[in-house]
Amino acid sequence: MAWEASDFRERMAALRAAHGAVVVLTGAGISRESGLHTFRDADGIWASVSIDEVATPQAFARDPARVHAFYNQRRRGLLDPVVLPNPAHAALARLERDWPGAVLVVTQNIDDLHERAGSRTLVHMHGELLKARCGGCGTVIRCREDLAPAHPCVACGNAGGVRPHVVWFGEMPLELDRIYHALGQASLFAAIGTSGTVYPAAGFVDAVPRGCVTVEINLEPSEGASRFVHRIHGPAGTAVPAFVDALCGGDG
């Protein structure tokens, strides 16, 4: 792998000595080995469900029961005891503990596997499956149960507006100011397990300063692979621990 090369390790040692800031973007591929589906692979979610049916505000307005059913099923899947963080999630939590500079994990995933693995400095830019939000008053609550259209908001009492706390197409992703601020300071940017098709996340690699080391880790070249300096193609569960070893000066 590229990061077993001595020049990559030397570059990482220099970044470590300088306490360089790290931003890691993750996508559905990092949770695949935990048993969760990706979106755009052959067996992915969009192969069996249409985006227009479940992942736009218009879909929710048209048929909230259908959209709730889709997210209820995914929430139950996430809460299945067999779904656990894998070595890639654990490695990123270790990076946050061991790296001497700032580390921000920005995930497009709505699962909670990064938190369960121990990541603490984390942005869920596309929301969280284990939360619900009132479309009327904006109150966000924890949610481990099924939702239904008649579900009343605990804060304002209105029924009908409670929705999954997720970002659908056409909606603004969350905490973008914080993300772009971190990208603007990054010495290292890594994108892991994302197809690079959904914006603005797909454009983050272009928002880092000149000289920032950029790394793609994905099962196969993503749509934006050519925009990264280093490209590692393999399963996240083995590639990410090796990458973190190289960053932190471990034996790999």
Q: What is the DSSP letter of 99?
A: -
> Minimum distance from CB of 130 to ligand BJW (Å)?
12
Separation between Cα atoms, residue 78 and residue 21, nearest integer Å: 31
Does 247 participate in binding ligand BJW (rule CB under 6 A)?
no
Taking residue 3's Cβ as centre, other Cβ atoms within 10 Å add up to 21
Q: Binding residue for ligand BJW (CB under 6 A) from 22, 110, 122, 153?
A: 110
Of 114-133, which residues contact ligand BJW (CB under 6 A)? Answer: 126
Residue 35, by phi and psi: left (phi above 0), alpha (psi -120 to 50) or beta? Answer: left
**Strand ranges (DSSP E) for 143-206?**
162-166, 186-192
Residue from 126, 151, 165, 230 carrying the catalytic annotation? 126
Q: Binding residue for ligand BJW (CB under 6 A) from 34, 108, 187, 214?
A: 108
Does 34 participate in binding ligand BJW (rule CB under 6 A)?
no
Does 85 participate in binding ligand BJW (rule CB under 6 A)?
no
Q: What is the DSSP letter of 202?
A: G
From residue 109, alpha-carbon distances to 39, 177, 181, 210 in Å are 11, 18, 20, 28
| Contact call for residues 187 and 18 (beta carbons, < 8 A) | yes
Contact string 190-229 vs ligand BJW (x = CB under 6 A): ---xxx-xxxx-----------------xxx-x-------
* 181 among known catalytic residues: no
The first and second tokens of residue 245, run together, are: 């070893």
> Minimum distance from CB of 223 to ligand BJW (Å)?
8
Taking contact as CB under 6 A, which single stretch among the options 38-46, 76-84, 139-147, 152-160 is the one that binds ligand BJW?
38-46
Dmax over CA atoms of the chain, in Å, equals 61
**Residue numbers of the site for ligand BJW (CB under 6 A)?**
27-29, 32-33, 38-41, 44, 55, 108, 110, 126, 166-173, 176, 193-195, 197-200, 218-220, 222, 235-236
Indicate which residues carry an active-site annotation.
126
